[in-house]
Structure 1
Amino acid sequence: MAGRIWATAAMLAVMATAGAASADSPYLRPNVYDATNMDRVTVEAGFTDDIFAGRVAMRSDHWNVFGPGGEVAISDVTYLNQIAVFEVMTPADGTYRISSGRREGRIGKMYRSASQGWRFVGEEAGVTVPEADQVETQSITVADVYVTRGEGREIPAARGVGVEVIPVTHPAEIVEGEDAVFQLLIDGRPVAGQAVTVFREAGRYDGKLVEADLTTGEDGRFTVRPSAPGAYLTLIRYRGEAPAGARTPYQSQSHALTFVAGAQ
């Protein structure tokens, strides 16, 4: 189907969980992005092959929100078949980062493809890989979204662990037709030359699902110019050696950031 992320960008599908969700992409979606005068927001979380249309509920042991008062764990989560739903308290003005936390997924075998870089065994149909060329790998997934109450514009500090995308342009100030700047960090360091795909929710209806295919610059930054108002999602997959102490020597790390562009 033309409206599917998997059909449109198979190279970027996230191998994050076992079973039916193995080809799906993560997302978080709040009911509002501007929480001014609201003491809470409701968030939907899922995996999908059709952007922002949950097909498998996202589960995590590390739900959290980082706001003006610091980081708070989220424990009261309702898991349905296709989505998870929870509330996030926004008691004070400021910017809140809502996150799945680092979700540890399946452990499998990966190898270095001559044409496509690191690939899980089985991702390339009909390819037989010698056992000696395979490395043990674990999937790690993080999904983030920012909501803002009032005029607070301080972005929560980077975690410094794994793959993360930090807004340079404040999420509440992103509008159609203007540049919005983000920065990719891996273990707290900017990474150049990393592929980023930006999806647009409106693509479910007009057929243009991918807003842009980008590459990070020397400072890890990339720039998105939203073509229309609405919700967008940046998706990054980074595969390589795992940090010291990890369960496997290699990791496949995926990060998804949801943001919305306002009208001019």
Structure 2
Amino acid sequence: MLAKPTLIAASLALGLSTFASSAEAHRRWLLPSTTVMAGEEGTITVDAAASNGLFVFEHRPLGLDDLVITGPDGQRVEPVVIGSGAYRSVFDLKLARQGTYRIAIASDGMMGSYELNGERRRWRGSRAEMESAIPEGATDVRVSENVARTETFVTLGAPNDTALAPTNSGLEMIPVTHPNDLVAGEEAQMRLLVDGEPAVGLELEFVAGGTRYRDEPGIRTLTTDANGMVSLSADEPGLYYLEASAGRGEYEDGPERRLSYTAVLEFMPL
């Protein structure tokens, strides 16, 4: 019989195929009241929700425990949380510095199950807690990690890139075209990374908001190239949604991990 540490290591070595598509799961999004502001300072309101129709409040709010806002100087900015209702969470963000703010809900948690004394038990927590959480004598240990990032971008005055630096954790998008300088009718370039390395051959879904009012949602499936690059283009100005999901094993050997990324981007009129 394998000892517990060996079982955990063996379980973590398993790869994972792609996540369920957005057609099978509710979309998660952060919706700012505006993405570009002028002046010395300003305040925006952000809605955080999950729904079937894009930017329609009809399913559930997103929790804000993992909300991280990075300011134009690279430092963390604290929001004013208004609260959560039946369908959305809401917070205000004061823009006190000129430049670009990265607003993200970024979570990284472990899930596990094991047998002890003939009983199947489950556990959820952080990677640091995993070894102590699964007791000695446990068998049939199964562990996976879930890394998710949901984000949007807002700029006061002239845009800058400091907040856009990669975290090198999980699946993320690094804008090549600035995310608050997107124009309908012009291609925008984005790079997708997995733990800081190019996400090669990754499929993404790109769709305009307002799906509730269209017979066809108009989802476009895009694929990253050998450098993790993808081109986005919008025929009409408005808010657009980007989603990607994958397993760690599609890119390199490593622990079983579910990776997901979503973003809300605004394309302005030409």
Q: Same fold (TM over 0.5)?
A: yes
- 1:233 maps to 2:241: yes
* Matching residue of 2:146: 139
Identity of aligned residues (%): 24
CA contact (8 A) 1:103 1:140 kept: yes
TM-superposed deviation, 1:208: 3.8
C-alpha change, 1:94 and 1:146, in structure 2 (3 Å) is same
C-alpha change, 1:234 and 1:189, in structure 2 (3 Å) is same
Q: Distance in 1 between matches of 2:22 and 2:233?
A: 23
Amino acid at match of 1:98: I
TM-superposed deviation, 1:206: 2.9
* Matching residue of 1:258: 264
Of residues 93-102 and 36-45 in structure 1, the stretch that sits farther from structure 2 once superposed is 36-45
CA contact (8 A) 2:248 2:258 kept: yes
CA displacement, residues 158-211 of structure 1 (integer Å, 9 cap, x when unaligned): 111111011111122211111011110111111110000002114332334234
Q: CA RMSD in A?
A: 2.7
Q: What is the correspondence of 1:4-83 to structure 2 with a 5 Å cutoff?
A: 11-13=20-22, 23-37=25-39, 38-54=41-57, 55-72=59-76, 74=78, 76-77=80-81, 78-83=83-88
Q: Distance in 1 between matches of 2:146 and 2:23?
A: 9
Q: TM-score, with normalisation over the residues of structure 2?
A: 0.73
Q: What is the correspondence of 1:186-205 to structure 2 with a 5 Å cutoff?
A: 186-205=194-213
The DSSP-based 3-state class of the residue aligned with 2:45 is: strand
C-alpha change, 1:239 and 1:11, in structure 2 (3 Å) is same
Q: Distance in 2 between matches of 1:155 and 1:222?
A: 21
TM-superposed deviation, 1:64: 1.5
TM-superposed deviation, 1:153: 2.7
CA contact (8 A) 2:71 2:77 kept: no
- 1:223 maps to 2:223: no
- 1:94 maps to 2:103: no
C-alpha change, 1:49 and 1:138, in structure 2 (3 Å) is farther
Q: What is the correspondence of 1:135-214 to structure 2 with a 5 Å cutoff?
A: 136-156=143-163, 157-214=165-222
C-alpha change, 1:69 and 1:14, in structure 2 (3 Å) is farther
The DSSP-based 3-state class of the residue aligned with 2:75 is: strand
Which structure would you say has the larger Rg? 2
CA contact (8 A) 2:191 2:229 kept: yes
TM-superposed deviation, 1:60: 3.5
CA contact (8 A) 1:105 1:141 kept: no
CA contact (8 A) 1:64 1:99 kept: yes
The DSSP-based 3-state class of the residue aligned with 2:260 is: strand
C-alpha change, 1:144 and 1:105, in structure 2 (3 Å) is farther
Q: TM-score, with normalisation over the residues of structure 1?
A: 0.75
Aligned length: 219
Q: Distance in 1 between matches of 2:153 and 2:260?
A: 18
TM-superposed deviation, 1:255: 0.6
Unaligned runs of 5+ in 1: 1-9, 16-22, 109-133
Q: Distance in 2 between matches of 1:260 and 1:76?
A: 23
TM-superposed deviation, 1:12: 1.6
TM-superposed deviation, 1:11: 4.3
Q: Distance in 2 between matches of 1:154 and 1:208?
A: 36
Of residues 176-185 and 209-218 in structure 1, the stretch that sits farther from structure 2 once superposed is 209-218
CA contact (8 A) 2:53 2:210 kept: no
Q: Distance in 2 between matches of 1:144 and 1:89?
A: 17
Q: Distance in 1 between matches of 2:147 and 2:211?
A: 27
